[in-house]
Chains A and B, each alone.
Chain A
Amino acid sequence: MRNKILTVDDSKTVRIIVRKAFKPFDIELFEASNGVEGLAVAAKDLPDLILLDVTMPVMDGVEMLTKIKADPQLKGIPVMMLTAEGGRENVLKIAKIGVRDYLVKPFKEESLLEKAGRIIDLKPLAEGPGKARSILDPVDVLIVEDKPAIIQQIQDGLRHTPWKIHGVTTPAEAMELCARREPDLLMISLSLPEDAAFTLFRSIRTNVKLKFKPVFALVVKTEMNSQSQAQQVGFSSIITKPIDLPELEGRMAKAMNLDTSLRYFHIDGDFLVMSLPENTTQAVLAEAAHYLKPKLAEAVDSGLNRAIIDIHLIRSLHMGVIKILMQAMQTCRDLAMHFTLVGNGRIIAECKGFEDTRSWAFFETLGEAKAHLAAATDASAASSPPAAEPKRLVSA
């Protein structure tokens, strides 16, 4: 359930500043311009936090606070004073009535969020479906590692991605960089001197803007104690050195919730092309299978009825590949899509060796497959509407 914040301030400027500060978070915001209005809104909407000014017309903040604390229904709502009244005596007097925190104007947005974040959970707004990021979008990744060679290795290994990989060697540099621009993912080496990695991790988890960012731990494979400690404190993922870069890339994409379907599915003119990469690990096949039905259904929904299943990059056939190809072909049949296969000589030969794959027919190039599929589907459309059980196109 969304947290609710009530701002009570006679200044529209302050209310706008507060609204702007909480805009990136999943918060329902209510506003009132004096104590009387504030009490009415508080009683009706029962906010999770009240930000209260002191000097206001009609009813000031001290009177409103006193009435809140005298009301059994409202007295449990945490109140944070947000006021230019900062003298010691004033603060003490108000503190005695009962406030959770006190922020003196002028204030920085970050201070407001930090203090509010200690009282209620400030969850970043989920991005809408239209705004979901894909692996083709630039994202910012920050590596905190005291060994520049490791930073370099990761930067080199992920150079083919549009990701911006920033590397720093100390926690202080990391926090400075985070203050300027929040990264989408952080990686912290557990080999930082003393307990610096865990101290930094705790700082990140208490920072309102960073607390929900994925944080990976980088650790030597044999350091089991550090790995166990990292798991206990809540690192999002443990990456062991030596680093398996393809695996790291996959985990990063998943942690950042990036749409990776473009690795396997793309539209080429009137065709949906499904392609599998050279290295078909279990993780790759699982990821491709995850997108299989939604992507084919999406293509049909947008008017495409021709699919090409391209496995010409694959070096050898194994059960995982056979299984996903069978799934893909069956899904095409279920959706009444025309489809064909593209493979290399070695794969085509290997297919002849299995009972289930013996009858599969391939083209050796995408161009040939497209031409054949286009001609076949055009002929099919001219003669009759697509049959419930569509023909499977085969090469000679």
Chain B
Amino acid sequence: MPATQEITESLIRDNIVRAVDDVFRTMLDSEAVLKPAEDSCPACWPTAPARDSPASETHVVGTVGFLGDASGLLYLYLDETFAKHCTCVMLGMNEREIAEIGEAAVNDAVGELTNMIVGSFKNGLCSAGYSCKLTIPSILRGRNFCIEPISSAERNVYSFDCAGRRLVADILMKTDN
């Protein structure tokens, strides 16, 4: 069993950056670059629209939890246009074909994208000595909503630039005691 190292912000950051980049390169054939910290303010998004998003655009948020020696939730925020784009690339379909299947296809693809990212993130935690398991994904969809953590959760928000489109990973981790 590997020695357990402290879950520091840098361990979380390194793992999420590696996980997002790995999933984007493998499944979407594109890069995801971590943006500077000031762009990662949770208050900026999704409660307030992103600079490059139409004010009223729907957001699709994928959620997967992890339970064990480290427990928490990861929310993955995408605007609907970006979510559709990711769905098209993952499934090898065009927008018309995706539209024929409906919202369910986009929800399922974002759910799977989140599952892969959280899986990869969680595997990094396991390697650092924190054994944990994944929960099944769920999706939140809507406009102008805000997800707020309870006070006992530690929150880390990371914003990524994916070829001009924005992706936010909001990680809530249960703190001891």
Contact = CB atoms under 8 A, between A and B. Distances in A.
Given A11-B112, A107-B26, A85 B120 contact: no
Interface stretch (A13-21, A259-267, A357-365): A13-21
Given A56-B136, A85-B134, A11 B115 contact: yes
Contacts of B126: 86-90
A58 to B, nearest CB: 10
16 contacts: A11-B112, A16-B91, A17-B91, A20-B91, A54-B134, A55-B135, A84-B123, A87-B131, A87-B132, A90-B133, A105-B115, A105-B119, A105-B120, A106-B23, A106-B26, A106-B120
B92 interface: yes
Contacts of B123: 84-87, 104
B42 interface: no
Contact of A13 (B112, B119, B133): B112
B90 A10 contact: no
A20 B89 CA distance: 12
Interface string B20-44: 0011001100000000000000000
Contacts of B116: 84, 105-106
B94 to A, nearest CB: 14
Contacts of A108: 26
Interface of B: 1, 22-23, 26-27, 87, 90-92, 104-105, 108-109, 111-112, 115-116, 118-120, 122-123, 126-127, 131-137
A323 interface: no
A89 B130 CA distance: 11
Interface in A99-126: 104-108
Contacts of A86: 119-120, 123, 126
B134 A13 contact: no
Most chain A Cβ neighbours within 10 Å, of B104, B119, B132, B134: B119
A55 B91 contact: no
Contacts of B105: 12-13
A121 to B, nearest CB: 25
Contacts of B134: 54-55, 84-85
A17 B91 CA distance: 6
> How extensive is the interface on chain A, given as a class?
20 to 34
A11 B108 contact: yes
Q: Which of B1, B127, B134, B137 has the most chain A CB within a 10 Å cutoff?
A: B134
A40 B23 CA distance: 32
A296 B82 CA distance: 58
A317 to B, nearest CB: 58
B167 to A, nearest CB: 15
- Tell me the interface secondary structure of chain A in the complex: loop
**Top 8 A-B pairs ranked by shortest CB distance?**
A84-B119, A87-B126, A106-B26, A13-B112, A86-B123, A11-B112, A13-B109, A106-B23
Given A57-B136, A86-B119, A88-B127, 13 more contacts: A13-B109, A13-B112, A16-B91, A17-B91, A20-B91, A20-B92, A84-B119, A85-B123, A85-B133, A85-B134, A88-B126, A89-B131, A105-B119
A7 to B, nearest CB: 13
B112 A14 contact: yes
Interface string A43-80: 00000000000111100000000000000000000000
Nearest to B119: A84
Nearest to B123: A86
Contacts of B92: 20
Given A55-B135, A87-B126, A13 B108 contact: yes
Contact of A55 (B27, B90, B133): B133
B65 to A, nearest CB: 10
A55 B120 contact: no
A89 B4 CA distance: 14
A90 B127 CA distance: 11
Contacts of A16: 91
Contact of B122 (A11, A56, A87, A88): A87
A83 B122 CA distance: 13
Contacts of A83: 119
B115 A84 contact: yes
Contacts of A57: 136
Contact of A84 (B1, B91, B118, B131): B118
Contacts of B91: 13, 16-17, 20
Contacts of A84: 115-116, 118-120, 122-123, 134
A11 B137 CA distance: 9
Contacts of A90: 126, 133
A107 B109 CA distance: 15
* Chain B CB within 10 A, most for which of A56, A89, A104: A89
A57 B118 CA distance: 17
